[in-house]
């Protein structure tokens, strides 16, 4: 470990992401990334009686799947780090209850996939663990009900709205020497730019992403050309444009090397997802499915993965507060 600045540490042992697993919903399985996911659901319920129970099942089965794929047992895992969007992070805590693995609960909204990989890789780098599992999930139906309107109401969605991904990503970070390495961690700060529109989360998160990316380049001495891809968690189409603009004003040009998990997940026009995908499971499954595959195939060799979270509370918004954003970044390299 070497501290490079206020927000960034270089992980000198370079923990490896030895395996990932992804499960997504039916709609996500009809999108452009379908072939990269391990399992695609046939409907919203997967045999469960509520959307929340379905989300718990998705995360639990994804935990089992990543263990199987890596040929590991729960006894091999020192810590699970997980969080999700549901109140009290119930998907995570119910998903792990039979595993008997020490559990570190996180809350970072849609930044959780990278928050869990970041903290987990620091624990591996610091010698506290040989293997950790980082994971998260979201479900379109449980998220809409909790954060916006019941689906039965048929509320029209605004052009800036994003579509919460039904899905989960899980990854094992290990001292074993195989797979891509996590070389740098940049932990972000909470940024509040006064956005109050729960249907424009990209705008709420973009300033936080810009702050984290700016800090990463500033503290590592790298510039955008170092990376094959700089990929944000789920700013979507509108947030992504705002991010590029903010960075350009700070003399950082990421055009041509930038993409976003929320943009990658859906064919926005054909699938009517407006500004793109969102939710913890968006960055989770796009990373664990598509991006990890591209890293393994050496089609990508150096990526900066920046998961962004809108720390959005319906109660706080009703009380006049703005939606805060946060973003954490990890550099993943072959």
Q: Which residues bind a second copy (CB under 8 A)?
A: 1, 3, 6-7, 9, 49-50, 52-53, 75, 78-79, 83, 86-90, 93-94, 96-97, 99-109, 115, 119, 122-123, 125-128, 187-192, 311-316, 319, 321, 324, 326
In the bound state with a second copy, the residue whose beta carbon lies nearer, of 7 and 181, is 7
In the bound state with a second copy, the residue whose beta carbon lies nearer, of 186 and 268, is 186
Q: What is the C-alpha to C-alpha distance for residues 274 and 266, in angstroms, rounded to an integer?
A: 10
Q: How near is the Cβ of 65 to a second copy at its closest, in Å?
A: 19
**Other Cβ atoms within 10 Å of 19 Cβ, number:** 25
In the bound state with a second copy, the residue whose beta carbon lies nearer, of 114 and 243, is 114
Q: How near is the Cβ of 1 to a second copy at its closest, in Å?
A: 5
Helix (H) / strand (E) element for 91: namely: helix 90-96
Q: How near is the Cβ of 102 to a second copy at its closest, in Å?
A: 4
In the bound state with a second copy, the residue whose beta carbon lies nearer, of 35 and 97, is 97
Spatial CA neighbour of 83 closest among 24, 128, 23, 133: 133
Q: What is the C-alpha to C-alpha distance for residues 57 and 75, in angstroms, rounded to an integer?
A: 21
In the bound state with a second copy, the residue whose beta carbon lies nearer, of 170 and 264, is 170
> What is the DSSP pairing of strand 302-311 with strand 324-333?
antiparallel
Q: What is the C-alpha to C-alpha distance for residues 86 and 84, in angstroms, rounded to an integer?
A: 6
Q: How near is the Cβ of 37 to a second copy at its closest, in Å?
A: 27
**Other Cβ atoms within 10 Å of 73 Cβ, number:** 10
Q: Which distant-in-sequence residues (6+ apart) come within 8 Å of 287 by Cβ? A: 20, 113, 169, 171, 261, 305
In the bound state with a second copy, the residue whose beta carbon lies nearer, of 126 and 159, is 126
**DSSP state, residue 85:** S
Q: Per the structure block, which two tokens stand in for 272?
A: 């009517």
Q: How near is the Cβ of 187 to a second copy at its closest, in Å?
A: 4
Q: How near is the Cβ of 110 to a second copy at its closest, in Å?
A: 12
In the bound state with a second copy, the residue whose beta carbon lies nearer, of 295 and 304, is 304
112 three-class SS: helix
In the bound state with a second copy, the residue whose beta carbon lies nearer, of 109 and 265, is 109
Q: How near is the Cβ of 9 to a second copy at its closest, in Å?
A: 6
Spatial CA neighbour of 169 closest among 18, 308, 260, 61: 61
Span between the terminal Cα atoms of the chain, in Å: 18
Q: How near is the Cβ of 87 to a second copy at its closest, in Å?
A: 4
**Other Cβ atoms within 10 Å of 57 Cβ, number:** 22
Q: What is the C-alpha to C-alpha distance for residues 309 and 288, in angstroms, rounded to an integer?
A: 18
In the bound state with a second copy, the residue whose beta carbon lies nearer, of 122 and 282, is 122
Phi, psi of 224 (to 5 degrees): -55, -30
User: To 5 degrees, how large is the angle CA 273–CA 138–CA 165?
Assistant: 15
Q: How near is the Cβ of 64 to a second copy at its closest, in Å?
A: 16
């Amino acid at each position: 470990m070497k501290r490079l600045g206020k927000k960034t540490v270089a992980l000198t042992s370079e923990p490896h992401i030895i395996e990932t697993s992804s499960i997504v919903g039916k709609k996500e399985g009809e999108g452009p990334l379908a072939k990269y996911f391990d399992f695609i659901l046939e409907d919203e319920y997967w045999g469960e009686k509520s959307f929340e129970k379905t989300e718990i099942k998705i995360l639990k089965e994804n935990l089992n799947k990543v263990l199987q794929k890596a040929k590991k047992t729960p006894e091999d895992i020192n810590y699970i780090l997980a969080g999700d969007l549901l109140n009290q992070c119930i998907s995570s805590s119910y998903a792990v209850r039979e595993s008997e693995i020490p559990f570190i609960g996180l809350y970072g909204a849609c930044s959780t996939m990278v928050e869990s990989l970041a903290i987990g890789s620091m624990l591996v780098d610091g010698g506290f663990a040989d293997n950790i599992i980082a994971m998260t999930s979201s479900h379109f139906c449980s998220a809409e009900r909790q954060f916006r309107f019941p689906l039965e109401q048929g509320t029209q969605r605004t052009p800036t709205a994003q579509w919460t991904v039904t899905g989960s990503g899980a990854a094992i970070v290990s001292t074993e020497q195989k797979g891509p390495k996590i070389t740098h961690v940049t932990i972000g700060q909470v940024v509040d730019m006064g956005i109050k529109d729960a249907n424009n989360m990209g705008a709420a998160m973009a300033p936080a992403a810009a702050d984290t990316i700016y800090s990463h380049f500033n503290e590592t001495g790298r510039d955008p050309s170092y990376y094959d891809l700089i990929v944000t968690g789920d700013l979507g189409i509108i947030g992504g444009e705002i991010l590029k603009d903010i960075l350009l004003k700070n003399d950082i040009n990421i055009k041509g090397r930038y993409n976003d998990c929320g943009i990658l997940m859906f064919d926005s026009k054909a699938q009517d997802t407006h500004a793109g995908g969102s939710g913890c499971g968006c960055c989770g499954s796009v990373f664990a499915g598509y991006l990890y595959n591209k890293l393994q195939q050496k089609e990508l060799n150096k990526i900066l993965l920046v998961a962004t979270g809108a720390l959005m509370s319906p109660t706080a918004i009703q009380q006049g507060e703005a939606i805060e954003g946060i973003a954490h970044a990890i550099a993943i390299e072959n």
